[in-house]
Amino acid sequence: MMPKFLYMIKNKKITKEQVMKDIIAGIIVAVIALPLSIALGISSGVSPEKGLITAIFAGFIISFLGGSRVQIGGPTGAFVIIIYSIIQDYGLNGLITATIMAGLILIIMGVLRFGSLIKYIPQTITIGFTSGIAITLMSTQIKDFFGLKIENVPAEFFTKWGSYFGNMRSLNTWSLIIGLGSIIIIAFWPKINKTIPGSMVALIVATLSVKLLNLPVETIGSRFQEISSTIPIPLFPVFSMETINKLFAPAMTIAILAALESLLSAVVADGMISDTHDSNMELIAQGIANVTSGLFGGIPATGAIARTAANVKSGGKSPIAGMVHAITLLATMLILMPLAKMIPMSVLAAILMVVSYNMSEWRVFESLLKAPKSDVIVLLITFVCTIIFDLVVAIGIGMIMAMFLFIKRVSDTTEIRDLVEEEVFDEEISKVLEKVDGKIHIYQVNGPIFFGIVQEFISKMKELESSVEVVILDMRHTHAIDASAIDALSRLLKNCNKFGIRLCLTHVQEQPMKVLDKMGFVIKVGRSNIYDTKTEAIEKAYDYIKHLEVS
């Protein structure tokens, strides 16, 4: 494993021309990230500068040490609900500790090479929880978008909406106008200019309007009396077993979401630049980034799909763009942070509503509703569980359902052929089978052998007549087996022994043979009952039956 930045330097893949393009792309992405980082910080329940600190430190490290050439890291909308709930339950210190713990978990995941496991998570689950997070994130912005006067907004989804409807009389018309105007600007500005992000234009227009017209709306300054523009001193929290036990579940939630979102973002980026990222190096970089963010009082970070895509579209092709993005944000924070007090809360809510809409993947969600019923069920349950409960519960339930549905599908598609009944043998073998008059049964499994298919075998065994003496199992299409397959074969063997039937195996591939031998099944079935070909097995079975008749 090697960071992509060092790999590109080592192999001289960064040219002077590209460096200039990366610098420009980094500055453009910083302009996009500035309002987002502030908005995400506030929506997460922390002060505005925490979002910028996260984008600066985590963003730099993710680009410098990451396994992707163009990944842009920082706070994302997917984390807002999780961070807010952690702060409610454990306070800011609990969040910082959980963020550092999550970083350590991510590093361990990368070292153990868990990065490739992302491909085993079905699209129905990723779209389900992404869409669920989008709905939940949008629901958190209603208070500021409408300017509602609510002291403490409930964390639960339905209770939150009940609070909104109950306090709708406190609606601030000017906040609503600014929010709607901001969404219109963000939506239509790209038709005028695609270089300057619409979110930045909306923020500037809304801020100037509130300041010049002295509009009665809530601003960052009225909500947060003090906004720091200095970099805090890193502080390492005190860990104890009690703290680790208490915060392990929240930390695992952060780690899982960071891993999923960063690797999905890296996959999207690969398609845009025709490159391949190092998923394990990316996880390690994400881990170090989150540890660093926590030490400086920041919030969890991960790869941001929208900012990564903007980086590529702006000409970024190396990690330099991501590092420039972080440095630009640092300079902006040190110089212009005091001006952030004038930003109205409703424009930040509007920006995050657009972010929610973009991350909802509603077109993909709609297309998946036309998929097989089992996929639709997994999609909807993951979606609903994300909204009602949390990400870990949603992914856990979704994965369990997907696993059982996959097993069922494999069981349904695995075919057990009765080769004697199909009469697939040549004339010579057919004559041998005629002589034994149904005492030899030969089966071929077209598909994997595992516990889900053994019941069908056992059912066939129960249907066999007492005259059957030998059952031959052709394993030519079984290229790999695991412990579950051994258990299935052991149960099959036990059933054969119960009926006094001799079980033989043929065409056993290399990997299955090693597993059968190592786990003791070869001894159970008898090495003499394992043959290279069916012809050999049939001839030996014929001799065995003749021997029984004589004795």
- What is the DSSP code string of 280-306? HHHHHHHHHHHHHHHHTT----EE-HH
* DSSP string across 334-364: HHHGGGGGG-BHHHHHHHHHHHHHHHT-HHH
One domain for residues 399 and 443: no
Evaluate whether 130 touches 395 at the Cβ level (below 8 Å): no
One domain for residues 351 and 437: no
User: Over its length of 551 residues, how does the chain's per-residue pLDDT go in tens digits?
Assistant: 899 999 999 998 888 889 999 999 999 999 989 999 999 999 888 999 999 999 999 999 999 999 999 999 999 988 888 898 899 889 999 999 999 999 999 999 999 998 877 767 788 888 888 898 889 889 999 999 999 999 888 878 899 999 999 999 999 999 999 999 999 999 999 999 887 889 999 999 999 999 999 999 999 988 887 778 888 899 888 888 888 899 998 999 899 889 988 988 898 888 888 889 999 999 999 999 999 999 999 999 999 988 998 899 889 999 999 999 999 999 999 988 888 889 999 999 999 999 889 888 889 999 999 988 888 998 999 999 888 877 667 877 887 888 888 777 777 777 788 888 887 888 888 888 888 888 898 988 887 777 667 666 667 666 666 678 999 999 988 887 878 778 878 888 888 888 888 999 999 988 889 999 999 999 999 999 999 999 999 999 998 888 887 76
Evaluate whether 497 touches 506 at the Cβ level (below 8 Å): no
One domain for residues 383 and 472: no
d(CA 476, CA 474): 6
Other beta carbons within 10 angstroms of residue 542's beta carbon come to 18
Tokens of 478: 């079984």
pLDDT at 464: 65
Domains of the chain: total: 2
359, 384, 406 - which closes a domain: 406
One domain for residues 419 and 387: no
Evaluate whether 45 touches 88 at the Cβ level (below 8 Å): yes
Q: Is 543 exposed, middle or buried (0-12, 13-18, 19+ CB in 10 A)?
A: exposed
One domain for residues 280 and 386: yes
Tokens of 462: 């129960």
Q: In a 3-state reduction of DSSP, which class is residue 510?
A: helix
406, 424, 449 - which closes a domain: 406
One domain for residues 362 and 265: yes
One domain for residues 252 and 296: yes
Q: How many CA atoms lie within 13 A of 231 on its CB side?
A: 16
What is the tally of helices (H) and strands (E) in the chain?
Answer: 25, 7
pLDDT at 386: 86
pLDDT at 318: 95
- Over the stretch 146-172, which tens digit does the pLDDT of each residue have? 999 998 888 788 999 999 999 999 999
pLDDT at 119: 67
One domain for residues 338 and 470: no
Domain extent, residue 318, equals 4-228+237-406
Residue 106 φ then ψ, to 5° = -65, -40
CB burial of 215-228 (b: ≥16 within 10 Å; e: otherwise) equals bebbbbbeebeebb
d(CA 2, CA 431): 64
One domain for residues 460 and 367: no
359, 377, 406 - which closes a domain: 406
One domain for residues 370 and 491: no
Instruction: Please tell me the pTM assigned to this model.
Output: 0.76
Alpha-carbon distance values, 550 to 2, 354, 441, 547 (Å): 71, 84, 21, 5
Q: What CATH number does residue 448 fall under?
A: 3.30.750.24
pLDDT at 373: 87
One domain for residues 375 and 522: no
pLDDT at 12: 87
One domain for residues 396 and 437: no
